[in-house]
Amino acid sequence: MKTISVFKDFSEFPALRHCNISDKSGEEFYHTVLNKEFKEALDKGEKLTVDLDKTAGYASSFLDEAFGNLVFDFTIDVVKKNIVIISNQETHWKDMIENQTYAQWEERRKSDQKPKVTRNHSAWFRLIDGKLKSEVWELPAE
């Protein structure tokens, strides 16, 4: 099982939802760390563990954007089967992600309400018709 830590692999000070309003945003974490690590765990048939502990804290929008994008790109079923979230310091973050974010973003995915992208990102992975594909799926609005 692969483990990533927001603190070690991204920032001690995770910020807000989008790149255009803060550095170290949930959007940035998703596109620079979480998407690739989740895809690599899937390729190996492993679960990905994401450790939320040891940071200076979170805005709920950071977590919603990062884990919501994961559900949008891979579906709620694939995410639930293949991720373990550790949040011992603030257990409510894990509860929020698993009980609110996942369901809300699955509804967005089903209704094709694309995530907002506020910065150009390198290609990222998305599960399309049961196959992982990599491309730039959305661009920032002009």
Q: What is the pLDDT of residues 87-102, one digit of tens each?
A: 999 999 999 999 999 9
Report domain extents, the chain.
2-135
Kindly give the interhelix angle for 60-74 and 35-44, rounded to the nearest 10 degrees.
40
Mean pLDDT of the chain: 97
pTM for the complete prediction? 0.97
Q: For residue 81, give every residue at least 6 positions away whose Cβ sits within 8 Å of its Cβ, in sequence order, or none.
A: 47
